[in-house]
Amino acid sequence: MAIDTSRPAIVAVPRLELRESVTAALRELIFTGAFATGERLVETELAERFGTSRGPVRDAFAELEQVGLLTSGRGKGTYVRELTTIDVDELYTLRQSLETLAVRRAVDRLGETVVDELNGHVSAMEVAFAANDPVAAASADMAFHRTILEGADHGRLLVAWERLADQTRLLMHALSQILPEQRLGGLDHGPIVSAFETGDTVAAEMAIADHLDQARSIVMQSFAARDAASDLSD
Amino acid sequence: MAIDTSRPAIVAVPRLELRESVTAALRELIFTGAFATGERLVETELAERFGTSRGPVRDAFAELEQVGLLTSGRGKGTYVRELTTIDVDELYTLRQSLETLAVRRAVDRLGETVVDELNGHVSAMEVAFAANDPVAAASADMAFHRTILEGADHGRLLVAWERLADQTRLLMHALSQILPEQRLGGLDHGPIVSAFETGDTVAAEMAIADHLDQARSIVMQSFAARDAASDLSD
DNA sequence: GAGAATTTGTTCGTATGTATC
DNA sequence: TGATACATACGAACAAATTCT
C-alpha cells in the first residue's frame, strides 16, 4: 500500500481531455445565448479565452459542427447556426420518428421509478415556466424526453437523438427571444406519462407523436411570424 | 508494400481539403476490407501512407469515430469497429424508423424518373450478386435506399441515415466473410418499387419496413451463428 | 483591382500517458 | 513490479487563403 498517497484526489478524478472540456464549455455558451445566432467564432479568440492553444478549439469546432450547432465553409470561418422554418420542421418530424421508436421500446422496459422521474421533470418544467426561466424550462423538457430515450436501451437511437436535442436547445434559445410569453408552457406531458403508467404502448406512441406535432406547430408559427416581420423591416 | 491509395486524380482537384480526402480514402479502405475489424490504426503510419502530416489523419479519425466506423478509448488508440448482434439489431431497427419516414415523404414527391432509377439499382444488384461481387452488391443496395432518402427532401434525415449507411457497409463486409453464399440476394426490393409506382404511401411504408425486418432477421442469424462458433473455438 | 491584415489549414516538436516486456 | 518503447494530445510556427481597405 505504499503507493503515492501524496495527491490521491487528482488521480481519482478521471482526466478530462482539453478538447472535451472546451467542447462542453462552448456548447453551454451557445445554449445560454452568450453567442448570438449567426455570430462568427474565431479560433484564436476562443483559444485565448479558454487558455489553450488552437488545437482543442479546432477539435471542438469540428464536433459541434457535426452536431449541428455550428456551420463552416471552406476557410471561411465558423458560425453559430441560424435556424429557419425548414430546420424547425426537420427537427420535429425527425424527433417524432425517433421518439416514437424510443417509446415503443421503452414502455415495456420501464417501471414505476421511471414514471416518478418523468413526473419530477414535469414539475421542474412547471416551476421554471412559472419563474419565467426559459433556460431551466428547456433543460427540464429535454431531461423528460431524454429519460424516455435512455429507457429505450438503444445506443444509436440515443446518439441520433442527442444531436437533435442539442439543436433543439439552440432552437429554444432563439425562440425565447421571439416568443417571450412561452406559449410552449401550454404543452401537456400528462398523456405521455399516463400511457407509461398503464403500460399502453400504442397510446404512448400516439401521445408522444401528438405532443411533438403540437410543439412543431407552435414553433413553426413563431418562426414564420418572425420571418414575416424581418422581411418587412428589410 | 502496403501503400498506394494515391491512384485517384492526384492533383486534379486542388480545392479539396486534406482532411476530407484522407477521410474519404480511409472510409473506402474500411469498406473494402483493407483493414480487418478490430485492427488498430496508427496516426503516424497512415500519415506516412497518405503523404501528409498527422493532423489531417487525426481529423479523419475524429470524423469516422463520429460516424461509427472507428472506436477509440482515452489514449488507447483507434480501432476499426467490431460489430455485435446488438449493433445489427440497432442498425436495422433504426434504419426502419428513418426509412419509413423517408418513404412517407418521398412517395408523393417522386415521379417516374425515380422509379426508373430504383429499377436500375435493383438490376445492378442482381448482376453483382450473380457475379458474386459483394462490394458491388452492397454499393447498389445502398444506392437504392439512398435514392429514397434523397427523395424525402429532409437534410437531417439524410445525415442521420448516412451514418447508418456507412455502418451498414462495414457490416456488409463483415457479413461477406461469414456468409459467402449471399443469402441477402434473396431479398426482394420489388414491393417497394411497386408501391412507389402506384403512389400508395401506406403500402410503401409497409414494404420498406418489411424489407428491413427481413434483412435484420437474416443478418442477426448469421452473426449469432458466428458468435456461437467463435465461443466454441475459444 | 492590388495589397495588407486577419484567419484558417497544415506541419512538426514535445510532453504525457498507455501498453508491453 | 519496474523500466522501456511508443502513440497520442497539445502547443507553436509556417503557409495558404480570404476579407477588407
To the nearest whole Å, the CA of A234 is away from the closest chain B CA by 28
A93 Cβ under 8 Å from any chain B Cβ: yes
What is the reported pLDDT for B5?
Answer: 36
Closest CA to B141 of B192, B93, B205: B192
Backbone phi, then psi, for A52, in 5-degree steps? -125, -175
What is the reported pLDDT for A15?
Answer: 56
d(CA B208, CA B96): 7
What is the reported pLDDT for A120?
Answer: 95
Is B90 within 8 Å of A59 when comparing Cβ atoms? Answer: no
What cell does A170 get?
439552440
Judging contacts by C-beta atoms under 8 Å, the chain A residues touching residue B59 are 62
What is the reported pLDDT for A181?
Answer: 59
To the nearest whole Å, the CA of A131 is away from the closest chain B CA by 34
Taking CA–CA distances from B75, the nearest residue in chain A reads A17
What is the β-pairing status of strands A78-80 and A70-72?
antiparallel
Residue A212 pLDDT grade (very low, low, confident, very high; cuts 50, 70, 90): very high
Provide the CA A22 distance to its chain's centre, in angstroms. 18
Write down the mean pLDDT value for chain A: 87
Q: Which of residues 117-176 of A touch strand D (CB under 7 A)?
A: none
Other C-beta atoms closer than 10 Å to the C-beta of A124 total 17
* Angstrom distance, B2 CA to D4 C1': 28
Amino acid at residue number B38: G
Nucleic acid strand D within 7 Å of A44 CB: no
* Angstrom distance, B77 CA to D4 C1': 19
Is A157 within 8 Å of B66 when comparing Cβ atoms? Answer: no
Residue B174 pLDDT grade (very low, low, confident, very high; cuts 50, 70, 90): confident
What is the reported pLDDT for A159?
Answer: 97
A181 Cβ contact list (under 8 Å, min separation 6) = none
Number of Cβ pairs < 8 A linking chain A and chain B: 53
Report percent pLDDT > 90 for chain A.
66
Residue A10 pLDDT grade (very low, low, confident, very high; cuts 50, 70, 90): very low
The SS3 of residue B131 is coil
Nucleic acid strand D within 7 Å of B78 CB: yes
d(CA A150, CA A158): 7
Report percent pLDDT > 70 for chain A.
88
What cell does B159 get?
445525415
Other C-beta atoms closer than 10 Å to the C-beta of A59 total 19
Bases of chain C below 7 A from a protein C-beta are 6-13, 17-19
The 10s digit of each residue's pLDDT in A125-171 is 999 888 888 788 889 999 999 999 999 999 999 999 999 999 999 99
What is the reported pLDDT for A108?
Answer: 82
What is the reported pLDDT for A201?
Answer: 94
Compare CB distances from B91 to A62, A98, A156 and report the shortest one's residue. Answer: A156
Is B74 within 8 Å of A100 when comparing Cβ atoms? Answer: no
Residue A79 pLDDT grade (very low, low, confident, very high; cuts 50, 70, 90): very high
The three-state (H, E, C) secondary structure of chain A, written as one string: CCCCCCCHHHHHCCCCCHHHHHHHHHHHHHHCCCCCCCCEECHHHHHHHHCCCHHHHHHHHHHHHHHCCEEECCCCCEEECCCCHHHHHHHHHHHHHHHHHHHHHHHHHCCHHHHHHHHHHHHHHHHHHHCCCHHHHHHHHHHHHHHHHHHCCCHHHHHHHHHHHHHHHHHHHHHHHHCCCCHHHHCCCHHHHHHHHHCCHHHHHHHHHHHHHHHHHHHHHHHHHHHHHHHHHC
| Cβ within 8 Å of A, B 20-49 | none
To the nearest whole Å, the CA of B1 is away from the closest chain A CA by 33
- Is B89:B167 a contact under the CB 8 Å cutoff? no
Residue B134 pLDDT grade (very low, low, confident, very high; cuts 50, 70, 90): confident
* Angstrom distance, B54 CA to D3 C1': 28
Dihedral sign from CA coordinates of B8, B14, B18, B23:
negative
Judging contacts by C-beta atoms under 8 Å, the chain A residues touching residue B157 are 90, 93-94
B63 Cβ under 8 Å from any chain A Cβ: yes
Q: Does pLDDT of A30 surpass 80? A: yes
- Is B161:B98 a contact under the CB 8 Å cutoff? yes
What is the reported pLDDT for A223?
Answer: 87
A160 Cβ under 8 Å from any chain B Cβ: yes
Compare CB distances from B160 to A17, A101, A160 and report the shortest one's residue. Answer: A160
The 10s digit of each residue's pLDDT in B53-84 is 999 999 999 999 999 999 998 778 999 999 99
